[in-house]
Chains A and B, each alone.
Chain A
Amino acid sequence: DSGVTQTPKHLITATGQRVTLRCSPRSGDLSVYWYQQSLDQGLQFLIQYYNGEERAKGNILERFSAQQFPDLHSELNLSSLELGDSALYFCASSSRPDSTDTQYFGPGTRLTVL
């Protein structure tokens, strides 16, 4: 158990809908990272927040957005969902802002878009 929690574990929804994935980092960690792993692609970095501020951006679509709240939990919002958004979404946390320390991954949320 990494100490990172993600909810829900599974999510099934329809195209065009909007969903919110939630992540709680390990106690004391200020950085949260979001990743997407789809069947035809490897693990893709989406976005990083550190202490409430966006720190780095990867291959995140404009239909996706994220935020980190004062209690440090983070939410990833996915809107206008398409079939291709079906994937496993991981969040990870670490203590530093610059990715030079260990990242601890949560168990993931499996999103299925029908």
Chain B
Amino acid sequence: ILNVEQSPQSLHVQEGDSTNFTCSFPSSNFYALHWYRWETAKSPEALFVMTLNGDEKKKGRISATLNTKEGYSYLYIKGSQPEDSATYLCAFGTTSGTYKYIFGTGTRLKVLA
């Protein structure tokens, strides 16, 4: 069974704090790793797609890194703002068997003003 785990499940931070979350996935048959931001009552919004070991991507105050050999990705938010409050999902694309795309359960972030 292929498992994608995200930690922590949820966290509260103060406005201005920096924070990071982890996505762990199987290290074999890696194809792609996606990060999404999902606000309540909206659709998931793509943040990053990463395909190469060592990839680092950045969008404003949010950045992500990828380690395919050990099977993890980190998402960092610098100087959190209340509008960053959302669930952050990662999804692992694998070629194990037929191609599959497996989501983690997400990290729920609440930024307190």
> Which A residues are closer than 8 A to B by beta carbons?
2, 33, 42-45, 48, 55-58, 90, 92, 98-108
A104 to B44, CA, bound (A): 8
Residues of A within 8 A of B31 (CB): 98-100
Once bound together, how far apart are the Cα atoms of A43 and B90, in whole Å?
10
Q: Mark B35-73, 1 if CB is under 8 A from A, else 0.
A: 000000001111001010000000000000000000000
Q: How many residues of B contact A (CB 8 A)?
A: 21
Q: Which residues of A contact B104 (CB under 8 A)?
A: 42
Chain A residues with CB under 8 A of B49: 100-102
Q: Which of B51, B101, B105, B106 counts the most A-chain CB atoms under 10 A from its CB? A: B101
Q: Is the CB of B46 within 8 A of A42?
A: no
Q: A58-B100, A99-B101, A101-B49 are in contact. Are A90 and B89 (CB under 8 A)?
A: no
Contact yes or no, B98 A56, CB < 8 A = yes
A100 partner residues in chain B, CB cutoff 8 A: 31-32, 49, 51, 93
For A101, the chain B residues whose CB sits under 8 A away are 49
Supposing A43-B44, A43-B89, A56-B98 touch, asked if A99 and B32 sit within 8 A by C-beta, the answer is: yes
CB-based contact B99/A55 at 8 Å:
yes
Is B74 among interface residues, defined by CB-CB distance under 8 A?
A: no
Cα A26 to Cα B79 in complex, Å, equals 33
Q: List 16 A-B contacts (CB under 8 A).
A: A2-B45, A33-B101, A42-B103, A42-B104, A43-B89, A45-B100, A45-B102, A55-B99, A56-B100, A58-B100, A58-B102, A99-B101, A100-B93, A103-B34, A104-B46, A105-B46
* Partner of B103 from A43, A105, A108 at Cβ < 8 Å: A43
Which of the listed residues B44, B104, B106 has the most CB atoms from chain A within 10 Å of its own CB?
B44
Residues of B with C-beta under 8 A to A45: 91, 100-103
